[in-house]
């Protein structure tokens, strides 16, 4: 595999472009590789290839598609360590987390290899003699797979596997901040034997490339993962030609801790929930809502865990242990998170963590926890997308629910309680698409992943993820 150069894949051939951009390692600023920097013309060629291949690919049998997806899963698993190493370098991930992301990607191909064969329809009983009423599910057409930098491989995998299982042909575009391993995923699909034109990938300026793809007459669905702001733009663009928009957008997950929770388990869950991927996850615990009777004990325990974490490059030199926390994606992310922390302190929040030292080189932040955060502080009203969080208190269940829902986002939420009743009652009242009850990492390939409110439209994974790329056709038949 060539994991140093993120090239275009168009109609079964790999291409560079007139120019290229460097891909840098957030942990030390070194160059990891380069990404072809294409144009609208490259995007149109990719969509043309997908359109050309759609006729034959959409008529393959579900067994043929399932077999190819299973081959892709096996090939991806074979290349896991090589892909994960590149992913860790370009995205600033801890190596075990990069390996976990590739493993998770394999699960999506395994899952949709099975789901491909469960595309069923209906036969309705006739109300008039001599009539038959049938419905079947067919691939919607050419689908676009547009993804961010924080989980560049698994977010592509959950889209590509479903699209291909449904019988769609695909054009992908990945964030230029971490394009190398994601391109390696497309190389796996190419090498697995997907026919020319079925899977295409184009790199270049996001607005120009996306505009060219969205305006192509063969494009019928767009699956986008990224910020809510860009998601709104994608949705507006999709309305021009009534393209089906599937949007996995921003989050602001409340991490609610009741006084009847196992406090030590909640603290460990909070470490994972906030700091996985250095906090750069849309489903991350974004704010801590803690019952007032245990709030200070929770904050002190969590703050001590944050201060004790080792920080460093996610792929350490030979023999050195992998640090507990890696860098964030770039200096802009460092500034954005630091600004939220500084603003909260100016509003009267109290710093719980003490450590501020980080490695001198690279885009690092010390994990930071603040207490007594005002309800209107952007640290808790906005998506942090980094290793910082605020603690807000509540007295009653009603207040916890009200504060949890007081955001336009509704992707994930977390409830920590020893009460089975709360474990059932509280999620029912939360405006979130995904709820973890005493579980900080709920994501699996077979569950529906997606958000409520302004966190998105549609679901990925599960059987629902396949239906998003299918059209239902009804046939009224007089045999």
Ligand X SMILES: O=C(O)[C@H](O)CS(=O)(=O)O
Catalytic residue positions, numbered: 248
Hunting for tokens 């479903």 — which residue is that?
A: 162
Q: Which of 79, 66, 94, 478 is nearest to 275 (CA)?
A: 94
Instruction: Name the phi and psi angles at 198, rounded to 5.
Output: -75, -40
Q: CA-CA distance, 102 to 185, in Å (whole number)?
A: 9
Does 151 contact ligand X by CB under 6 A? yes
Identified binder of ligand NAI from the candidate list 119, 169, 175, 407, rule CB under 6 A: 175
Identified binder of ligand X from the candidate list 28, 215, 227, 443, rule CB under 6 A: 443
Q: Contacts with ligand NAI in 442-461 (CB under 6 A)? A: 451, 456
The entry of ligand NAI, ligand X, none near residue 411 (CB within 5 to 8 angstroms by kind) is ligand NAI
Query: Measured from the CB atom, is 383 or 468 closer to ligand NAI?
Result: 383
Q: CA-CA distance, 291 to 173, in Å (whole number)?
A: 44
Query: Measured from the CB atom, is 150 or 183 closer to ligand X?
Result: 150
The entry of ligand X, ligand NAI, none near residue 443 (CB within 5 to 8 angstroms by kind) is ligand X
Query: Measured from the CB atom, is 248 or 372 closer to ligand NAI?
Result: 248
Identified binder of ligand X from the candidate list 98, 283, 302, 401, rule CB under 6 A: 283
Stretch that binds ligand X, among 66-74, 150-158, 226-234, 390-398 (CB under 6 A): 150-158
Residue 293 Cβ vs ligand X, minimum distance, rounded to whole Å: 31
Residue 210 Cβ vs ligand X, minimum distance, rounded to whole Å: 19
Hunting for tokens 């954005």 — which residue is that?
A: 336
> Both tokens of residue 318?
């030979």
Residue 87 Cβ vs ligand X, minimum distance, rounded to whole Å: 13
Q: Which of 340, 430, 455 is nearest to 390 (CA)?
A: 340
Stretch that binds ligand NAI, among 28-36, 57-65, 249-257, 270-278 (CB under 6 A): 249-257
Does 148 contact ligand NAI by CB under 6 A? yes
Q: How many residues make contact with ligand X (CB under 6 A)?
A: 9
Q: CA-CA distance, 311 to 185, in Å (whole number)?
A: 29
Does 149 contact ligand NAI by CB under 6 A? yes
Q: CA-CA distance, 330 to 328, in Å (whole number)?
A: 6
Does 116 contact ligand X by CB under 6 A? no
Query: Measured from the CB atom, is 173 or 301 closer to ligand NAI?
Result: 173
Residue 421: count of CB within 10 angstroms of its CB: 8
Does 227 contact ligand X by CB under 6 A? no
Stretch that binds ligand X, among 38-46, 119-127, 147-155, 324-332 (CB under 6 A): 147-155
Q: CA-CA distance, 165 to 176, in Å (whole number)?
A: 27
Does 207 contact ligand NAI by CB under 6 A? yes
Identified binder of ligand NAI from the candidate list 71, 210, 368, 417, rule CB under 6 A: 210
Please list the residues that pair with 142 across neighbouring strands. 169, 219
- Give the nearest residue (CB) to ligand NAI: 226
Hunting for tokens 């609610």 — which residue is that?
A: 256
Query: Roughly what angle, to the nearest 10 degrees, separates helices 152-166 and 80-91?
Result: 130
| DSSP character at residue 195 | P
Instruction: Name the phi and psi angles at 185, rounded to 5.
Output: -65, -40
Query: Measured from the CB atom, is 205 or 316 closer to ligand NAI?
Result: 205
The entry of ligand NAI, ligand X, none near residue 326 (CB within 5 to 8 angstroms by kind) is none
CA angle 226, 228, 230 (to 5 degrees): 70
| DSSP character at residue 270 | H
Query: Measured from the CB atom, is 84 or 198 closer to ligand X?
Result: 84
Binding string, residues 330-369; x marks residues near ligand NAI by CB under 6 A: ----------------------------------------
Q: CA-CA distance, 184 to 178, in Å (whole number)?
A: 11
Q: Which of 272, 267, 235, 18 is nearest to 146 (CA)?
A: 235
Identified binder of ligand NAI from the candidate list 104, 112, 385, 394, rule CB under 6 A: 385
Distance of CA 354 to the CA centre of its chain: 31
Query: Measured from the CB atom, is 104 or 298 closer to ligand X?
Result: 104
Identified binder of ligand X from the candidate list 71, 105, 150, 228, rule CB under 6 A: 150
Does 232 contact ligand NAI by CB under 6 A? no
Asked whether 43 and 213 are in contact (CB, 8 A), the reply is yes
The entry of ligand NAI, ligand X, none near residue 154 (CB within 5 to 8 angstroms by kind) is ligand X
Q: Which of 448, 432, 40 is nearest to 246 (CA)?
A: 448
Stretch that binds ligand NAI, among 71-79, 195-203, 206-214, 390-398 (CB under 6 A): 206-214
DSSP letter string, 282-329: TTSEEEEEEETTTHHHHHHHHHHHHHT--B--SS-STTPPPPSB---S
Identified binder of ligand X from the candidate list 86, 281, 291, 393, rule CB under 6 A: 281
Residues 6+ apart with CB under 8 A from 365: 278, 328, 334, 337, 338, 358, 386, 387, 388
Residues 6+ apart with CB under 8 A from 207: none
Contact positions toward ligand X, by CB under 6 A?
150-151, 154-155, 281-283, 443, 449
Contact positions toward ligand NAI, by CB under 6 A?
146-150, 155, 175, 206-207, 210, 225-227, 230, 233, 248-251, 282, 383, 385, 411, 451, 456
């Amino acid at each position: 595999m060539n994991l140093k150069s993120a090239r275009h894949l168009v109609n079964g051939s790999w291409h560079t472009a007139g120019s290229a951009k460097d891909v840098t390692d957030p942990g030390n600023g070194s160059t990891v590789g380069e990404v072809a920097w294409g144009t609208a013309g490259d995007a149109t060629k990719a969509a043309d290839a997908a359109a050309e291949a759609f006729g034959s690919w959409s008529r393959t049998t579900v067994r043929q598609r399932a077999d190819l997806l299973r081959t892709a899963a096996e090939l991806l698993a074979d290349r896991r360590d090589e892909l994960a190493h590149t992913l860790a370098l370009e995205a600033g991930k801890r190596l075990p987390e990069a390996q976990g992301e590739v493993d998770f990607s394999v699960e999506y191909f395994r899952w949709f290899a099975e789901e491909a064969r469960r595309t069923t329809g209906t036969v309705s009983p006739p109300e008039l003699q001599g009539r038959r009423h049938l419905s079947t599910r067919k691939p919607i057409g050419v689908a676009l797979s547009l993804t961010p930098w924080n989980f560049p491989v698994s977010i592509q995998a959950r889209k590509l596997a479903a699209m291909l299982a449904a019988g769609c042909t695909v054009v992908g575009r990945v964030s230029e901040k971490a394009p190398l391993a994601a391109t390696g995923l497309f190389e796996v699909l190419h090498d697995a034997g997907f026919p020319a034109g079925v899977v295409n990938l184009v790199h270049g300026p996001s607005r120009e490339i996306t505009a060219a793809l969205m305006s192509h007459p063969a494009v019928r669905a767009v699956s986008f993962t990224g910020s809510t702001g860009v998601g709104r733009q994608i949705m507006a663009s999709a309305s021009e030609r009534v393209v089906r928009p599937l949007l996995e957008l921003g989050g602001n997950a409340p991490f609610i801790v009741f006084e009847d929770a196992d406090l030590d388990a909640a603290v460990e869950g909070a470490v994972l929930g906030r700091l996985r991927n250095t906090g750069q996850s849309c489903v991350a615990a974004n704010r801590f809502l803690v019952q007032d009777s245990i709030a200070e004990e929770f904050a002190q325990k969590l703050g001590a865990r944050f201060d004790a974490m080792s920080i460093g490059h996610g792929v350490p030199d030979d023999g050195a242990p992998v640090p507990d926390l890696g860098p964030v994606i770039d200096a802009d992310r460092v500034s954005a998170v630091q600004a939220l922390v500084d603003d909260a302190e100016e509003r009267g929040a109290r710093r719980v963590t003490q450590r501020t030292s980080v490695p001198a080189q690279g885009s690092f932040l010390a994990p930071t926890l603040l207490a007594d955060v005002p309800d209107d502080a952007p640290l808790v009203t906005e998506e942090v997308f980094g290793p910082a969080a605020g603690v807000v208190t509540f007295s009653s269940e009603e207040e916890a629910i009200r504060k949890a829902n007081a955001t336009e986002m509704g992707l994930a939420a977390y409830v920590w309680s020893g009460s089975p009743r709360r474990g059932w009652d509280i999620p029912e009242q939360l405006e979130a698409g995904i709820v973890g009850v005493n579980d900080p990492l709920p994501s699996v390939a077979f569950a529906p992943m997606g958000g409520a409110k302004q966190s998105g439209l549609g679901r990925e994974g599960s059987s629902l993820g396949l239906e998003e790329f299918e059209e239902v056709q009804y046939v009224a038949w007089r045999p």
